[in-house]
Amino acid sequence: MNRDTGAADWRPLHAELDRWGEAGRRIRLWLRDDDAIAPSPALDRLAGLGERFELPVLLAVIPMEAEVALAAALRAMPALLPCQHGCRHRNLAAEDEKKSEFGPSRPAADVAADLALGRQRLADLFGAALLPVFVPPWNRIDPARAAVLPGLGYAGLSCFRGYRLGAAGGPPLANTHLDIMDWAGGRIGRAPQDLIAETCRLLAEQRSQAVDDTDFGLLLHHRDHDATAWSFLDAFLAVTQHHPAIAPTDPRRLFEIAVSSPSPTG
């Protein structure tokens, strides 16, 4: 497998996008980046990417680890839109559960207290710039806990593909679909050709199973990106940005949050 993005074969993705275009359907492409806590060269790079591609990024910030300096930095980075990523980003799952901070085994009162604590901390840091969107660590939140989010003032929830709300409902949900990192393989960027193939598979599935437009979210982790991850991201956005089937999408639109500052995208 050639790990050099420049040598990746993007033709399968072009072909899939063309099929969407021929069907008159559009893909709302959007970006989410997790685990922000402080300014860094990687955060600068993420902000630059959002500006260059005119694609605002939903930035999931860990409340109890976030530094005051992050708030100051983000004031100069309008492409990065902070929201709440858990509370302490600690694994509090029972031993037989997958990692989670907001799983089914935690008492509801504890969950509510952590949600409020984290939200207050971020409100203190970011003020009106904080989006009322919740991103649970490890993309996991018990559907019964998600159901109470609207009553607590949350306008949106974002997890990973496959996550579904329960019968009790919840806030507007916008999942991400493609994780560009290989965690098990050593926290490295995944091979571009694998990511292209996975994107094509997911989009083809969606194309055959539904008839309308779709969302497609890229899941990023700027603190962990290596050269492979950054160059894939650059190439993916360059390849897709001008395709007529792609609608670069401000995440606020997904949650029907008013875009108060001028946004370059639809």
Q: How far apart are CB 128 and Zn ion at their closest, in Å?
A: 24
Can you tell me which of 33, 35, 114, 142 binds Zn ion, judged by CB under 5 A? Answer: 35
| Residue sitting closest to Zn ion (CB) | 34
Residues 119-138 close enough to bind Zn ion by CB under 5 A: 137
Q: How far apart are CB 85 and Zn ion at their closest, in Å?
A: 6
Stretch that binds Zn ion, among 31-39, 46-54, 170-178, 203-211 (CB under 5 A): 31-39
Can you tell me which of 33, 34, 179, 250 binds Zn ion, judged by CB under 5 A? Answer: 34
The SS3 of residue 12 is helix
Q: How far apart are CB 12 and Zn ion at their closest, in Å?
A: 30
Nearest residue (CB) to Zn ion, 34 versus 250: 34
Nearest residue (CB) to Zn ion, 24 versus 162: 162
The token pair at 5 is 């993005």
Nearest residue (CB) to Zn ion, 61 versus 196: 61
Q: Is residue 82 a contact point for Zn ion (CB under 5 A)?
A: no
Q: How far apart are CB 86 and Zn ion at their closest, in Å?
A: 7
- Residue 248's Cβ-count burial label (10 Å; 0-12, 13-18, 19+) is buried
Nearest residue (CB) to Zn ion, 99 versus 201: 99
Q: What is the dihedral of CA 102, 223, 69, 85, to 10 degrees?
A: -20
Instruction: In whole angstroms, give the CA distance from residue 213 to residue 162.
Output: 18
Nearest one of 175, 114, 176 to 148, comparing CA atoms = 114
- Please tell me the count of residues contacting Zn ion according to CB under 5 A: 3
Instruction: In whole angstroms, give the CA distance from residue 47 to residue 74.
Output: 9
Nearest residue (CB) to Zn ion, 26 versus 85: 85
Beta 188-189 vs 181-182: how paired, if at all?
A: antiparallel
Look-up of token digits 């639809």: 266
| Contact footprint for Zn ion (CB under 5 A) | 34-35, 137
